[in-house]
Chain A
Amino acid sequence: MILDVLKIDPLLTLLMIGGVLYIFILCFLTLFYLIKGLFK
């Protein structure tokens, strides 16, 4: 399972958490600019 690797590979863990976090940040920013554009 993926969790087994994450437990023993810190680099992969960091990359996974960071990657998922940034996908959320990018989605949030897109939504923000979309709303900003719509209400201008």
Chain B
Amino acid sequence: MNHITNIQLFALIVIFEVGSTTLFALGIGAKQNAWVVVLCAYLCSLLLIWAYTQIPKYYPHKNFAFILDDTLGKALAKPLLLLFGLYFLNQTMHNFYEFGALINMTALPHTPLSFILYVFIIVIIYILILGIEVLTRSIEIVFPFFILVLIAIYFLNLLTGEFEWNNLQPILGNGITPVLKEVPNVLSFPFGEMIVFLTFWHFVKDPNSIRRTTYIAVSFSTLLLLTSLLVILAVLGPKLASHTEIPLLETLLSIHIGMIFTNLDSIGVFIMFIGGFFKTAIHFYGFCLAITWLLNKQKPNWIIVVAGLLLPVLSLMRFESLNDQRWKGIDEGIYNILIYSLIPVFLVILIAVKNWAKRKEK
């Protein structure tokens, strides 16, 4: 049976949240107050997560397609399921291309990007065909390593002479407005992206513990994101952090301790790739599940293989370069994530009102 335990759900959420955010300095538009932006977005995300975790409370152990059918009726539910599927595909393509390009740029500059993408997707196809349990167990195995290396990177950065607390000051020097302007962006990415878990809730063994586990996991991820941002800002300064393509990689290059801890960029890229790999796999599985339900199939295996083999071609056709991908994904596509992260909130309100109307009718 395909089941997810609480610890697996925790690891899944943390890796998903931290995943591709290691590539960005979140909320850097607010300069040295970027960490305040993350904190504010986290507080707002608590409401979003409440809505996301309220759905399995209304429909325990029911899949997302059933919930949509029951709430909206088949005629309205099917197009919405297709839209969600396409949204997950859109996110898959972004993460997939981004991390393929990262490996191409840093570790394998002479290897064609298409080859990297195909190797990347073949491993994802293999894991996903074996089922959600294999995906979650592999995350469970790499999770301690992922977290330990991330924390070690932050700690080693503290020991380098480059770490300047002054780079973080003045706090709210330009008032709260630049911070508030950035909050919707960070609320969408990475917190709003949690919407993909709506397709996974029915796998969780104990539906009553979903909300508690999710809150703990998101809080822990926020702590990691905040630490990461503080380190990036303190080492690089707000100006350099906003202009660097991969800020965390830049901070790693500044670590030189006793000629032993040096050139840590390859380890950093490996850790970033683990996060990106699982984030891509989770989004892709969400897409495959949505299409499986849409076609009334029992297993997503064929969809995983066909869509997986097409994914590198589609990604290469859609994005010309990493800058093009970022422009379409983060600079402008962020509104798209915001729209889709808000739909479940409206859905929860609708379910509540519908239940209330039904009770009154009786």
Mark B residues whose CB is within 8 Å of A: 72, 76, 79-80, 83, 86-87, 89-90, 318, 327-328, 332-333, 335-336, 339-340, 342-343, 346-347, 349-350, 353-354, 356-357, 360-361
**Contact, CB under 8 Å: A37 / B332:** no
**Contact, CB under 8 Å: A15 / B83:** yes
**Contact, CB under 8 Å: A23 / B318:** no
> Closest B-chain residue to A13, C-beta based?
B336
**Contact, CB under 8 Å: B350 / A30:** yes
**Contact, CB under 8 Å: A12 / B336:** yes
CB < 8 Å A-B pair total: 77
**A26–B347 CA distance with the chains assembled, in angstroms:** 7
**Contact, CB under 8 Å: A15 / B340:** yes
With A15-B87, A15-B336 in contact, is A25–B76 under 8 Å at CB?
yes
Mark A residues whose CB is within 8 Å of B: 1-2, 4-5, 9, 11-12, 14-16, 18-20, 22-23, 25-27, 29-30, 33-34, 36-37, 40
Complex A-B: 17 CB contacts under 8 Å: A5-B333, A12-B90, A12-B332, A14-B83, A15-B336, A15-B340, A18-B79, A19-B336, A25-B76, A26-B346, A26-B347, A29-B72, A30-B353, A33-B356, A37-B353, A37-B356, A40-B361
- Taking the closest CB of chain B, its distance from the CB of A36, in whole angstroms, is 5
A12 touches which of B80, B328, B347, B349 (Cβ 8 Å)? B328
A9 touches which of B72, B80, B328 (Cβ 8 Å)? B328
> Closest A-chain residue to B82, C-beta based?
A18
- Taking the closest CB of chain B, its distance from the CB of A29, in whole angstroms, is 6
With A33-B350, A33-B357 in contact, is A23–B343 under 8 Å at CB?
yes
A33 touches which of B80, B89, B354 (Cβ 8 Å)? B354
**A37–B352 CA distance with the chains assembled, in angstroms:** 12
Contacts of B343 in A (CB 8 A): 19, 22-23, 26
**Contact, CB under 8 Å: B333 / A12:** yes
- Taking the closest CB of chain B, its distance from the CB of A18, in whole angstroms, is 4
- Taking the closest CB of chain A, its distance from the CB of B132, in whole angstroms, is 25
**Contact, CB under 8 Å: A40 / B360:** yes
**Contact, CB under 8 Å: B336 / A22:** no
Contacts of B340 in A (CB 8 A): 15, 19
Contacts of B346 in A (CB 8 A): 23, 26-27, 30
**Contact, CB under 8 Å: A30 / B349:** yes
Contacts of B333 in A (CB 8 A): 5, 12
**A4–B328 CA distance with the chains assembled, in angstroms:** 10
B327 touches which of A5, A26, A40 (Cβ 8 Å)? A5
Among B76, B87, B90, B336: residue with most chain A CB under 10 A: B336
- Taking the closest CB of chain A, its distance from the CB of B86, in whole angstroms, is 6
